[in-house]
Structure formats: structure tokens, C-alpha cells
Amino acid sequence: MLNFLNICSKTRKSWVLLIFTVVILELIALYLQHIVLIKPCVLCVYQRCALCGIGIAGLIGTIAPFTPLRFFSIPIWIYSAWKGLLLAKEYTDIQLHPSPFFMCDLFVQFPHWLPLNKWWPSMFDADGDCAGYKWYFLSLEISQWMLIIFANYLIIAILVSLSQIIDLKKWNNK
């Protein structure tokens, strides 16, 4: 399997597939926000940023997947998936164990040099409540789906990373 992932990481198609999954998830989020009228909370917006980080990793990997440039995209992918997983876990905890002392922020906080909520408010501005249940699909809430999605992104990213590190010739001869 690691050999397969190593080969895939050197093809443009696999990086484009990563970007495609991120775009689909972002489009679903925008559909739920603007068509279904579910207001995103702060943690939803931060998870969108983590997805954008995975998309950026995919773009870097797409540029030249057969060169060492992909080694720069894999840590970005791992970091973004890890941060997304932590945010999804926090969001799920808030929903499953509501408490007036354990809530998300009221406003998004981006660095002053990157005010995404001011540049693109329709995507990165939050006015929803984290504790409220918003939408279910196959008996799981959005936060629980995002936990599964980010866990899968992280597992795949770690396996791809391992496939780059492990000497596959020695591994396959054993």
C-alpha cells in the first residue's frame, strides 16, 4: 500500500483529486450557508480555513508532483488536517456536552494581515451558534461528519508521508 501511495504522490491526478475533494466540501458548506440558510459558527469558519490549507497543499503538489516540491505540500496537508481535526473535535464536544462555560468565540479572529472575514465575508464571516444543532445527514451532525472527514485526510496524509520516508526497496524485499 505504501508503494501505491508513493507512486500516486508522484502523479498530478492524485493531487488534483485532493483539490477536488476540498472544493466539493467547500461548495457543500456554501450550499448549506446560502441555500439552506444555516448560519456558520466560528468553528465552522475555522474548519473552512483548514480545508483551504489542504487545498493549498494540493495546489503545491499539483505544480510539480514528480519533484521534491511535493515534500513541501505534505506537511501543509498534515498540519491543516490536524488543525481541522482538533477544531471538529472541539465543535463536536460543544454540541454533545453543552455548557455555558464551554463555548466557541463570538467573532472570528484572523491575523490583521489576513482578514479573510473582511475580504470574503460570504465565506469567512461567522454569525451562527456553535451549540445549536444545524443539519443531519445519515444520523450524524455536521460536526461529526467533519471529524470523520478530517481524520481521513490526516490518515491519508500520514500514510503518504510515510511512503516518502520509508525505503520502499528494502521494505518490499522483506
Is 48 assigned a catalytic role?
yes
In the set 8, 12, 41, 52, the catalytic residue is 41
Is 44 assigned a catalytic role?
yes
Is 41 assigned a catalytic role?
yes
Helix (H) or strand (E) holding 33: helix 12-34
Rama region for 167: left / alpha / beta (φ>0; ψ in -120 to 50; rest): beta
Is 52 assigned a catalytic role?
no
Give the Cα separation of 136 and 162 in Å (integer). 35
Angle between helix axes 70-96 and 12-34 (nearest 10 degrees) is 30
Best CA proximity match to 131, nearest among 43, 49, 45: 43
In the set 12, 48, 52, 70, the catalytic residue is 48
Is 49 assigned a catalytic role?
no
In the set 8, 49, 70, 130, the catalytic residue is 130
Give the Cα separation of 43 and 132 in Å (integer). 12
In the set 8, 12, 44, 49, the catalytic residue is 44
Catalytic residue IDs = 41, 44, 48, 104, 130
